[in-house]
Chain A
Amino acid sequence: MDKFETLTGVAAPLPMINVDTDMIIPKQFLKTIKRTGLGKSLFFEMRYDDAGKEIPDFILNRPAYRQAKVLIAGANFGCGSSREHAPWSILDFGIRCVIAPSFADIFYNNCFKNGILPIKLPQEVCDKLMKAAENGANATFTVDLAAQEIHAPDGEVVAFPVDSFRKHCLLNGLDDIGLTLVKKAKIDTYEQARKTAQPWV
């Protein structure tokens, strides 16, 4: 996993609530056995017409946002299916930070496992950032994870919360599994005790 330290780029505004993971990446792209290559299919049904041609109005098809690195969306972003293909497609497109008033739990977790920073901010703060993001290519945002700050295009600084352990893992690009296997002795002790108490498990 790539480290996440600071990120500077344009933010794409997507003012919709309840964006589900079927919408982020529809099922026909779940047949891959790889993690990469899904960026072109991100938001497929909103992004392309029935003939597979780009819908020019869709935010990520507009010239100003084709290189967006941040996405700002409505509440309950990432609801529905647990598919990690959703963060994979966001990452593969080039977006490494999603800002919204709230996220669905599984999607929120999945982001951290892939070096994407999901930021929860109050609705009115999101509205303000969304408005700034509408200025397109002239609106550059900087997200500084160590300082837990977003530097908005107008110079305003917005602080954001993040869980300290997750922050540590993102900043250092740490692999969870390696960290857990250090605790192997504890896992084995747990298993031994359980085997005695509940032999049917």
Chain B
Amino acid sequence: MTAPRTLFDKIWESHLVDRQDDGTCLIYIDRHLVHEVTSPQAFEGLALSGRTVYRPEQTLAVADHNVPTTDRSKGIADPESRTQVETLEANGRAFGVRVFSMDDVRQGVVHIVGPEQGFTLPGMTIVCGDSHTSTHGAFGSLAFGIGTSEVEHVLATQTLVQAPAKNMRVLVNGNLPQGTTAKDIVLKIISVLGTAGGTGYVIEYAGDAIRGLSMEGRMTVCNMSIEAGARAGLIAPDETTFAYVKGRPLAPKPADWEAAVAYWKTLHTDDGAHFDAEVVIDASEIVPQVTWGTSPEDVVAITGSVPDPKAEVDEGKAKAMQRSLDYMGLVAGQPMEEVKIDRVFIGSCTNGRIEDLRAAASVAKGRTIAASVKAMVVPGSGLVKQQAEAEGLHTVFLDAGFEWREPGCSMCLAMNADKLEPGERCASTSNRNFEGRQGRGGRTHLVSPEIAAASAITGYLTDVRKFLG
């Protein structure tokens, strides 16, 4: 009998092409997602060395970081952004790689497009030159971000040189209270692990609260694994997963479906398998969360207040906290719900899926945003936008005073025209609150779509539970 294995061990072992004596492995990559920012130098490297793309049909490219979220009929105004997007399309043509262009309804944030198309499937290895590739782990696939040199390596060989990761399990047991979302779960996890707590690990999320999440919610959790330092997050596939995948354009054909599901059902951690680390969190105690600082680990309950650096014993951490507070324009002890905001951003690979828009719309419905707030909703893909419009969600947002935009990464990282002005404060459903992330001098508070919508309405960071039933 073989020793019990974790889900990570199973996927890893089934992708081994070669193992060197020193333990370094060559692993096979099933799916490669490509975007315009981290790929031009990789394609250039291929061209310079006369190499081709090893398996173009396992590669899918889409521009998302630089695309405008306003009227696209005029093209991209910024010449550098335009060049980068045009370079992606030219590389797609030159190397035979599929590209979803800006005017294609399937265009969107790469981590929303992959699952939506059925390009992401359980048990696969998936990479992309983007740290939020961890999103795809929600399907029980080993998915992680890589640098541009590795993008070139995967393009050229369909493999990657890697050392195996350590196994960590995060168990979220019990029932989530009303008003608490997948975003709150993952913010809580990051605050417990710290921003480097997952370094060197792949995190498997398990427990009833995770099992009870929709695929959208699972993607939100896995998406932010990297914010805890883990390159990948994993959730074992189950009926929720299979139901989501079935019928997607690139899902297994009907003739292969049963065999695929039978295989996917083997993708779970065996009883008694060894984890190098384990963390247990009680879901019933998670209230809606918000970040106060400039690291994703700087998390408090929305009902809490700004922490005091003087209470921190670690000198380096205390210094970093004070720097964060100075940057954020906050003082220790200030209640989070008294923090006034200027902007709201709903979107990104973390929270730009249909369910996120439904959740935000349910709060915004019949209400109006505060006069001092500028708020925008950026659907994660053209198909999410289409679905939302079919459900009338755009009308709810527009009536409430939100802007309704075209799909892309937008103000998650402000590479296009969507950015904060210095000193502006934003309730954002994105994943990083780093200094300058949403624009130089911009101040970011990471929240769920529900809190973002509630905050847009009041003009202050707001506990969404005040808006519920």
Report yes or no: A45 in contact with B150, Cβ–Cβ below 8 A. no
A residues 165-201 in Cβ contact with B at 8 Å: 165, 176-177, 179-181, 183-184, 186-187, 190-191, 194, 198-201
B residues 37-71 in Cβ contact with A at 8 Å: 37-38, 40-41, 44, 49, 51, 54, 65-66
Report yes or no: B157 in contact with A181, Cβ–Cβ below 8 A. yes
Report yes or no: A31 in contact with B80, Cβ–Cβ below 8 A. yes
Q: Which of A20, A75, A113 contacts B149 (CB 8 A)?
A: A113
Which chain A residues lie closer than 8 Å to B54 at the CB level?
Answer: 187
Given A33-B83, A106-B146, A187-B17, also A18-B195 (CB < 8 A)? yes
Report yes or no: B295 in contact with A18, Cβ–Cβ below 8 A. yes
Given A35-B41, A177-B156, A187-B159, also A165-B20 (CB < 8 A)? yes
Report yes or no: B435 in contact with A187, Cβ–Cβ below 8 A. no
Q: How far is the CA of A83 from the CA of B150 in the complex (A)?
A: 11
Query: Which segment of A5-13, A21-29, A135-143 sits at the interface?
Result: A21-29
Closest to A36 in B: B41
Report yes or no: A79 in contact with B435, Cβ–Cβ below 8 A. no
- Residue with the highest number of chain A CB atoms closer than 10 Å, among B24, B147, B263: B147
Query: Which segment of B94-102, B103-111, B123-131, B454-462 sits at the interface?
Result: B123-131
Q: Which of B51, B87, B124, B159 contacts A201 (CB 8 A)?
A: B124
Closest to A108 in B: B199
Report yes or no: A106 in contact with B37, Cβ–Cβ below 8 A. no
Given A17-B320, A181-B157, also A199-B256 (CB < 8 A)? yes
Report yes or no: B231 in contact with A187, Cβ–Cβ below 8 A. no
Which chain A residues lie closer than 8 Å to B152 at the CB level?
Answer: 177
Which chain A residues lie closer than 8 Å to B434 at the CB level?
Answer: 20, 22-23, 80
Report yes or no: B229 in contact with A104, Cβ–Cβ below 8 A. yes
- Residue with the highest number of chain A CB atoms closer than 10 Å, among B18, B49, B149: B149
Which chain A residues lie closer than 8 Å to B437 at the CB level?
Answer: 22, 27
State whether the Cβ of A41 lies closer than 8 Å to any Cβ in chain B.
Answer: no
Report yes or no: A102 in contact with B199, Cβ–Cβ below 8 A. yes
B residues 220-268 in Cβ contact with A at 8 Å: 226, 229, 231, 252-253, 256-257, 259-260, 263
Closest to A197 in B: B263
Report yes or no: B17 in contact with A33, Cβ–Cβ below 8 A. no
- Residue with the highest number of chain B CB atoms closer than 10 Å, among A31, A50, A109, A187: A31
Which chain B residues lie closer than 8 Å to A110 at the CB level?
Answer: 147-150
Q: Which of A16, A22, A32, A109 contacts B150 (CB 8 A)?
A: A109
Which chain B residues lie closer than 8 Å to A23 at the CB level?
Answer: 434-436
Report yes or no: B199 in contact with A45, Cβ–Cβ below 8 A. no
Report yes or no: B124 in contact with A187, Cβ–Cβ below 8 A. no
- B residues sitting closer than 8 Å to A (CB atoms) are 17-18, 20, 22, 24, 26, 28, 30, 37-38, 40-41, 44, 49, 51, 54, 65-66, 78, 80-81, 83-84, 87, 121, 123-124, 129-131, 145-150, 152-153, 156-159, 161, 163, 195-196, 199-200, 226, 229, 231, 252-253, 256-257, 259-260, 263, 295, 316-317, 319-320, 323, 413-415, 422, 432, 434-437, 440
Interface contacts beyond A82-B146, A102-B196: sample of 8 additional A-B pairs, CB < 8 Å, sorted by A: A76-B199, A79-B196, A82-B145, A84-B38, A103-B199, A106-B131, A200-B256, A200-B257
